[in-house]
Amino acid sequence: MKAKYDFSKGERGKFYNAKAVFDIPNFQEKDTGPKMRLNNKIAIVTGAGRGIGKAVALRFAEEGAKVVVDDVNDANGTETVAAITDAGGEAMFVNADVSNAVDAERLIAETVDAYGTVDILVNNAICSTADVLNNNWDANLAVALQGTSHCSNAAIPVMQQNGGGSIVNIASVNGLIGLQGIHAYSAAKGGVIALTRSMAVAHGKDNIRINCICPGTIQTEVWEPMIERNPQILDEITPWYPLGRIGQPVDIANAALFLASDEASFATGAVFVIDGGLTAGNHQFPI
């Protein structure tokens, strides 16, 4: 069939290249029928023993990735692996403390030993809720910010050899707006956003995409100590959300899946806010 427009000619040809348009991988994938979005990709998820990290690990495995589950909690980490393998997926557990650069390097080395490479890294680990609530600066900066840097620095040379990769950093709405007075956590998450942009700019040339997600309140075990203090806390938080609900781990897992996959091939250095509208404004503001 004759093409309606010939983008290779005339003024528009300077900007549009018809061949490039149809070279987008997903156009070709559609022609060959449904395909898992992370087929045969090797993905590491830090802090994947529970909560958001676990949901990301399960979602990635469902889409065909071989998942390396990292956590400092052996019981939880092996449980995530079992959930994946029981469902027919492939995963292994590595106990590595992301705040320790040597451990982060071992995490990448064990992944390469087992699966040959690293395609995707999700920096998700966070220190304990007590450390967040008590403004423990060392713990917040070491796990959230330096941990992201340690794991990324260890994975990037492997991704460079591989011709590219995708890093997804889990930041927070606390990195964007002031909430609750948890200053050390907010500053660490603001740092994760800045680190994402800085590293994305440096590694675009390597075809390594680095993006971050800022979740709003997500119903995970981190909220348990706060629920003990105030059993109504999640009900009290909910009205702040324009969508009328707080988030579930799978809401973040789906966003991470998109960013990790080739569908996001033109996204890097971006801050994806997945927060039910919390930071869009105040929907109860009277006019």
Ligand X SMILES: NC(=O)c1ccc[n+]([C@@H]2O[C@H](COP(=O)([O-])OP(=O)(O)OC[C@H]3O[C@@H](n4cnc5c(N)ncnc54)[C@H](O)[C@@H]3O)[C@@H](O)[C@H]2O)c1
By CB under 6 A, name the binding residues for ligand X: 46-47, 49-53, 70-73, 76, 97-99, 124-127, 143, 147, 170, 172, 215, 217-218, 220-222
Choose between 43 and 218: whose C-beta lies nearer to ligand X. 218
Which residues, 6 or more positions from 195, have their beta carbon under 8 angstroms from its beta carbon? 145, 148, 149, 169
Choose between 160 and 219: whose C-beta lies nearer to ligand X. 219
Q: Whole-number minimum distance, CB 221 to ligand X, in Å?
A: 5
Rounded to whole angstroms, the Cα distance separating 264 from 267 reads 5
Q: Whole-number minimum distance, CB 31 to ligand X, in Å?
A: 37
Taking CB positions, which residue lies at the least distance from ligand X?
Answer: 51
Tokens of residue 272, six digits: 């994806």
The reply to whether 5 belongs to the active site is no
Which residues, 6 or more positions from 250, have their beta carbon under 8 angstroms from its beta carbon? 55, 59
Q: Whole-number minimum distance, CB 266 to ligand X, in Å?
A: 25
Instruction: Tell me the angle at which helices 249-260 and 51-62 cross, rounded to the nearest 10 degrees.
Output: 50
Choose between 122 and 264: whose C-beta lies nearer to ligand X. 122
Give start and end residues of each alpha helix (H) in the chain. Answer: 18-22, 25-31, 51-62, 74-86, 101-115, 129-133, 137-140, 147-162, 183-203, 224-229, 233-237, 249-260
Q: Which of the following is catalytic: 5, 16, 115, 185?
A: 185
Q: How far is CA 80 from the centre of its chain?
A: 17
Choose between 42 and 127: whose C-beta lies nearer to ligand X. 127
Choose between 76 and 211: whose C-beta lies nearer to ligand X. 76
Count Cβ atoms within 10 A of the Cβ of residue 207 and give its class: 0-12 exposed, 13-18 middle, 19 or more buried: middle
Task: List the one residue out of 61, 69, 70 whose CA is nearest residue 37.
Answer: 61
Q: Whole-number minimum distance, CB 49 to ligand X, in Å?
A: 4
Tokens of residue 174, six digits: 């606390």
Q: Whole-number minimum distance, CB 41 to ligand X, in Å?
A: 21
Q: Which residues are catalytic?
A: 185
